[in-house]
Amino acid sequence: MPHWLKSEYVLVLATLAAMLAAFSYALALLSQRFRTISYLTELLGEQYGFVRTKCEVLYEIRDDGSSKTSHNEAFRAGKSELGGVEHYTAIITSPKNLTQDFRVSVKSAHSEVQVIPKETLVTPTKLFYQLNFIPPLKPDRSIEYTYDVLGPPGMFLRSEEEVHARKLPYDYISMKIAYPTRRLKITIIFPPDWQIGYLDYDVWLGDSRLRVKKEYGRLDKANALSKERLDGSIVANLVVDYPVLDLKYAITWIPSPAQTTQA
């Protein structure tokens, strides 16, 4: 084989090898992309017809165990109209001393679309409700709004003894991810005179509080749970980017009233 032809042959082989390596690398990147939670969230959003771009929930617990829960949500419609969404909240057990029902009220909507709440089931322990968009959110448009849910006294427990009396390992709040969601933030502000000796997060599958270890580990690496003291109150924050559809994200704790010292 002539020297010049041999050189051309080597050059062609080298070029083919480089192209094959580049193709394999691109394929690997594409494969990794398909395996990411963010990609799956967007893909599910296409199937659902919308994505919840933000879900921020602030629980303000009062000393009598009642609560004010402030929700700040944002949705973006896909290629079809979005007429509304549905939510629910419930107390983890059914104490006998509850007399007031849950209540829900929309505070504001940052859009030309009105957000009208419709309660479908209201009891002292359960609240199922719809948030209807009037008129429906148009394709490729976004809406952001805030609303409050008021929980009755006794919803949350004041002491470790009360927790054990209801046969619970701890008190907690949890949120089930019912829609493709890009960002979830759960904040709890405890009463100023409460001490929280135990505080943690969890990720559950179903109602039996079965931990999903892989997702729990992802949140652990991201340091998803933080704790601070603000104006005398303990504040817990759980921040999750691209929470997994149908899982429950929880903050768990054991309360104890602050001990006063005798003079």
What pLDDT score was predicted for residue 221? 96
Residue 6 has pLDDT above 80, yes or no: no
What pLDDT score was predicted for residue 95? 56
In the block, tokens 């549905």 appear at 86
Do 135 and 58 touch, CB atoms closer than 8 A? Answer: no
Domains of the chain: which residue ranges? 52-257
Percent of the chain with pLDDT over 70: 80
User: Which residues make beta-bridge pairs with 154?
Assistant: none
Q: Which fold has domain 52-257?
A: Immunoglobulin-like (2.60.40)
What pLDDT score was predicted for residue 76? 96
Residue 96 to residues 76, 79, 93, 159, 164: CA-CA distances in angstroms?
41, 47, 10, 17, 16
Q: Which pLDDT band holds residue 75 (cuts at 50, 70, 90)?
A: very high
What pLDDT score was predicted for residue 55? 97
Q: How far apart are CA 209 and CA 212, in angstroms?
A: 9
Question: To which H or E segment does residue 163 belong?
Answer: helix 160-165
The pLDDT mean for the chain works out to 83
Q: In what order do the strands lie in the sheet with 67-77?
A: 103-109, 142-151, 67-77, 50-61, 183-189, 233-241, 225-230
Average pLDDT over residues 171-182: 94
In the block, tokens 């957000």 appear at 115
Provide the strand spans (E) within the chain.
Answer: 50-61, 67-77, 82-90, 103-109, 114-122, 126-137, 142-151, 171-176, 183-189, 194-205, 210-211, 225-230, 233-241, 248-257
pLDDT tens string 14-65: 555 555 555 454 444 444 445 588 888 999 999 999 999 999 999 999 998 8
Name which residue leads in pLDDT, 152 or 99.
Answer: 152
What pLDDT score was predicted for residue 28? 45
Residue 94 has pLDDT above 60, yes or no: no
Q: Is the pTM of this model over 0.85?
A: no
DSSP letter for 138, please.
Answer: P
Residue 66 has pLDDT above 70, yes or no: yes
What pLDDT score was predicted for residue 32? 46
What pLDDT score was predicted for residue 173? 93
Average pLDDT over residues 138-145: 94
pLDDT tens string 212-259: 999 999 999 999 999 999 888 999 999 999 999 999 999 999 987 654
Q: How far apart are CA 145 and CA 151, in angstroms?
A: 20
